[in-house]
C-alpha cells in the first residue's frame, strides 16, 4: 500500500505544472504574429502562397479538433462548477468547431459549375462566425455573473446570420481560381482595393483581439491558466487575420496566415493538455488523501482502541482498583493490538503483492497462532484494487480468528476462485453458531466488521452456519 501511495503522490507531482502568466503568454503570441506579418511584408520572397488544398484542410481540421476539445473541457467545467459562463464558452467553441466541420462540406456539395463562388463563402463565414462568437463569449457572457440563456441564444443566432451574409458577399470578390501573387504585385494590390476582401479579415482580427484580451483578464482574475491559453490562441488568430487583410488570399490554398492559424490550434491544444494534466494531479492528490484517511481510520478503530484499553487497565492496576480479571483482559488486548499492528505493517509493506499471496500469508500466520490446520485453494492471477485487497485480507484474518477462538475448530479452509465472478470462501469444522443469536456479542461484532469491509468495495457477504456443523463465510464480487 505504501507503493500505491507513493505512485499516486509521484503522479500528482509529475502533473503539477508551473503556472504560466496569461498576460505574458498572450503578449508573446501577439508578438510572434506581428513578427511573421512584418517579415512577410518586408521580404516578399518569404511570403507563402501554395496551391495545397490538402494542407489547408489539415489546418482547418486542427482548428476544429482543438476547438472541439476546448468545448468538451469547458462543458465538463460547467457541470462541475455549475457556472453558466463555462457553459457559454463550451457552446461558443462547440459551435465554432461544428461550423468549421460542416460548412466546407455543405459548400462542396452545393457547388455548381455556374456558381464557383460557393467554394469560398464557407471559409469566410467560418472565420467571421468563429471570431465573433468567441469575442461575445469572452467579453460579455464570460464577464456576466447571471448569463441569460435566451440572450445568449439570440446573440449566437444573430452572429451566425451576419457571418453567412458577410461570407456570401465576400466570396464574390475573391478569385475563384488559385493564383500566386507576392505582396506588392499588381494583382495583389488590385485585390487589396476591394473593401469586401479587406474588411472581413479586419473585423475578424478585431473580434479575436477582443477575445484575447478578455480571456487574459479572466485568467488573471480567476488565477485560471486555461483561459490564458485560449486568449493566446485568439491573439495569434488576430495576427493571422491582419496578415490576411494585408495580403488577401488569391483563391483557396495555403498562405502565411495559415501558419499562424495552425499555431492557434497548437496553443489551444496545449491549454487543453495542461487542463487535463491538472485534472490528473487533483485526482491523484484526492486518492492519496483518501488512502491516508482510510489507514488512519483503521489504526484508530483497531490498534489505537486496544492501546487505550491497555492504558486504562494499567492505570486501574496502579491505583489498586483493578479487578481480578484485569491482567487477563490486558493480555488479550495486547494480543489484539499486536495482530492489528502486524496487519498494518503487512498492508503498508506489500502493496504490490498478488492477492493470493497476501491471503496465504495472513491465513498461515493466523492459523499458526490459533493452532489450526490450514488448507488453501487459491486461484492465481485474480486482480483486486488496494482497498479490496486490504479488506479481503482482514476478512480472512477475522474469519480464521473467530473459527479458532469462538468456533473451537481444528481445521479451516480458505478458497479463492474465479468462476462466475470472484469468490472468497472461508469454512471451518467447528461447533458452528446461530448468526442471529450472536447480536451484541464479540463474535457478532466480528461478523459486522467483515460485512462492512466487504461492502466497502461493493462485494456481497454471506454467512452459512448452524450450531454443531461449522461455519462458512463467503465474499463475492465482480
One-character DSSP codes across 289-353: HHHHHHHHHHHIIIIIHHHHHHHHHHHHHHHT---TTHHHHHHHHHHHHHHHHHHHHHHHH-TTS
CATH number at residue 458: 3.30.565.10
Q: From 235, 261, 286, give the residue that closes a domain.
A: 286
For the chain, the domain total comes to: 2
Please indicate, yes or no, whether residues 26 and 174 belong to a single structural domain of this protein.
Answer: yes
In this structure, are 150 and 275 located in the same domain? yes
Q: For residue 187, give every residue at least 6 positions away whose Cβ sits within 8 Å of its Cβ, in sequence order, or none.
A: 179, 181, 250
Contact 456, 462 (CB under 8 A): no
Same structural domain, 151 and 33 = yes
The reply to whether 371 falls in a domain is yes
Note whether 274 and 418 are same-domain residues. Answer: no
- 275 belongs to a structural domain: yes
- Looking up cell 502493496 gives 351
Same domain as 277, residue 391:
no
| Residues 364, 278 share a domain | no
Residue that finishes a domain, picked among 286, 312, 342: 286
- pTM score of the predicted model: 0.59
Q: Do residues 360 and 263 share a domain?
A: no
Question: What residues contact 343, with CB distance under 8 A and at least 6 apart?
Answer: 302, 362, 393, 394, 397
Domain enclosing residue 129, as ranges: 2-286
Q: Contact 44/51 with Cβ under 8 angstroms?
A: no
Cβ-contact 477, 421 below 8 angstroms: yes
Specify burial of residue 9 (Cβ count, 10 A radius: 0-12, 13-18, 19+).
Answer: middle
User: Does a structural domain hold residue 317?
Assistant: no
pLDDT of residue 426: 94
CB 368 within 8 A of CB 412: no
Is there a domain that residue 323 lies in?
Answer: no
Do 20 and 95 belong together in one domain? yes
The reply to whether 124 falls in a domain is yes
Task: Look at residue 242 and tell me if it is in a domain.
Answer: yes
Residues 282 and 374 in one domain: no
The answer on 245 and 164 residing in a single domain is yes
Number of residues in the chain: 478
249 Rama class: left (phi>0) / alpha (psi -120 to 50) / beta: beta
Q: Is residue 333 part of a domain?
A: no
Collapsing DSSP to helix, strand or coil, 91 comes out as helix
Q: Answer whether residue 35 is part of any domain.
A: yes
CATH number of the domain that residue 50 is part of: 1.20.1070
End of a domain among 286, 305, 335? Answer: 286
H runs (alpha helix) in 136-185? 149-171
Tens-binned pLDDT, residue by residue, of the chain (478 aa): 444 444 444 444 444 455 667 788 888 888 888 888 788 777 766 666 666 667 777 888 888 899 899 989 988 887 777 666 777 788 778 877 877 777 666 656 655 444 444 455 566 777 777 777 777 777 665 555 555 555 556 666 666 676 666 666 665 555 554 444 455 554 454 455 566 667 778 888 888 888 888 888 888 887 888 888 998 998 998 888 888 777 766 656 677 788 888 999 999 999 898 888 888 877 777 777 777 777 777 777 677 777 888 888 888 877 877 777 777 778 877 877 777 777 677 666 655 678 888 889 888 888 887 889 999 999 888 888 777 888 898 899 888 888 888 888 999 999 999 877 899 999 999 888 776 655 444 445 577 878 888 888 889 999 888 887 889 999 999 8
Q: For position 5, what pLDDT does the model report? A: 45
Amino acid at each position: 500500500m505504501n507503493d500505491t501511495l507513493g505512485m499516486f503522490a509521484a503522479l500528482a507531482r509529475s502533473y503539477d505544472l508551473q503556472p504560466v502568466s496569461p498576460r505574458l503568454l498572450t503578449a508573446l503570441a501577439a508578438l510572434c504574429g506581428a513578427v511573421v506579418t512584418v517579415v512577410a511584408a518586408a521580404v516578399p520572397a518569404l511570403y507563402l502562397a501554395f496551391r495545397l488544398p490538402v494542407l489547408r484542410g489539415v489546418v482547418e481540421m486542427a482548428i476544429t479538433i482543438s476547438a472541439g476539445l476546448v468545448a468538451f473541457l469547458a462543458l465538463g467545467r460547467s457541470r462541475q462548477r455549475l457556472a453558466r459562463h463555462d457553459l457559454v464558452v463550451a457552446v461558443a467553441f462547440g459551435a465554432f468547431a461544428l461550423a468549421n466541420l460542416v460548412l466546407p462540406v455543405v459548400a462542396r456539395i452545393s457547388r455548381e459549375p455556374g456558381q464557383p463562388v460557393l467554394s469560398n463563402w464557407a471559409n469566410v463565414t467560418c472565420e467571421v462566425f468563429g471570431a465573433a462568437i468567441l469575442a461575445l463569449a469572452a467579453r460579455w457572457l464570460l464577464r456576466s455573473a447571471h448569463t441569460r440563456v435566451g440572450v445568449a441564444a439570440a446573440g449566437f443566432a444573430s452572429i451566425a446570420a451576419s457571418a453567412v451574409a458577410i461570407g456570401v458577399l465576400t466570396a464574390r470578390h475573391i478569385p475563384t481560381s488559385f493564383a500566386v501573387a507576392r505582396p506588392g504585385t499588381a494583382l495583389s494590390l488590385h485585390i487589396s482595393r476591394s473593401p469586401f476582401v479587406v474588411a472581413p479579415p479586419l473585423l475578424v482580427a478585431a473580434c479575436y483581439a477582443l477575445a484575447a484580451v478578455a480571456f487574459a483578464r479572466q485568467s488573471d482574475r480567476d488565477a485560471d491558466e486555461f483561459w490564458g491559453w485560449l486568449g493566446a490562441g485568439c491573439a495569434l488568430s488576430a495576427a493571422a487575420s491582419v496578415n490576411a487583410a494585408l495580403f488577401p488570399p488569391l483563391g483557396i490554398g495555403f498562405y502565411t496566415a495559415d501558419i499562424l492559424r495552425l499555431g492557434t490550434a497548437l496553443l489551444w491544444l496545449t491549454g487543453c493538455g495542461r487542463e487535463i494534466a491538472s485534472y490528473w494531479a487533483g485526482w491523484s492528490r484526492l486518492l492519496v488523501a483518501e488512502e491516508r484517511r482510510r489507514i488512519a481510520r483503521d489504526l484508530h478503530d483497531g490498534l489505537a482502541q486496544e492501546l487505550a484499553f491497555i492504558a486504562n487497565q494499567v492505570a486501574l492496576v496502579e491505583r489498586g482498583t483493578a479487578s481480578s480479571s484485569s491482567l487477563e483482559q490486558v493480555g488479550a488486548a495486547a494480543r489484539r493490538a499486536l495482530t492489528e499492528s502486524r496487519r498494518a505493517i503487512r498492508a503498508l509493506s506489500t502493496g504490490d503483492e498478488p492477492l493470493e499471496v497476501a491471503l496465504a500469508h495472513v491465513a498461515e500466520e493466523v492459523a499458526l497462532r490459533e493452532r489450526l490446520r490450514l488448507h488453501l485453494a487459491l486461484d492465481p492471477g485474480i486482480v483486486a484494487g488496494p482497498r479490496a485487497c486490504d479488506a479481503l485480507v482482514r476478512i480472512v484474518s477475522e474469519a480464521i480468528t473467530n473459527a479458532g477462538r469462538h468456533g473451537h475448530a481444528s481445521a479451516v479452509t480458505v478458497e479463492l476462485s474465479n468462476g462466475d465472478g470472484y469468490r472468497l470462501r472461508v469454512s471451518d469444522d467447528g461447533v458452528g453458531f446461530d448468526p442471529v443469536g450472536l447480536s451484541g456479542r464479540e463474535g457478532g461484532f466480528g461478523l459486522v466488521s467483515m460485512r462492512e469491509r466487504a461492502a466497502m468495495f461493493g462485494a456481497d457477504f454471506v454467512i452459512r452456519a448452524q450450531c454443531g456443523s461449522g461455519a462458512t463465510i463467503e465474499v463475492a464480487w465482480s
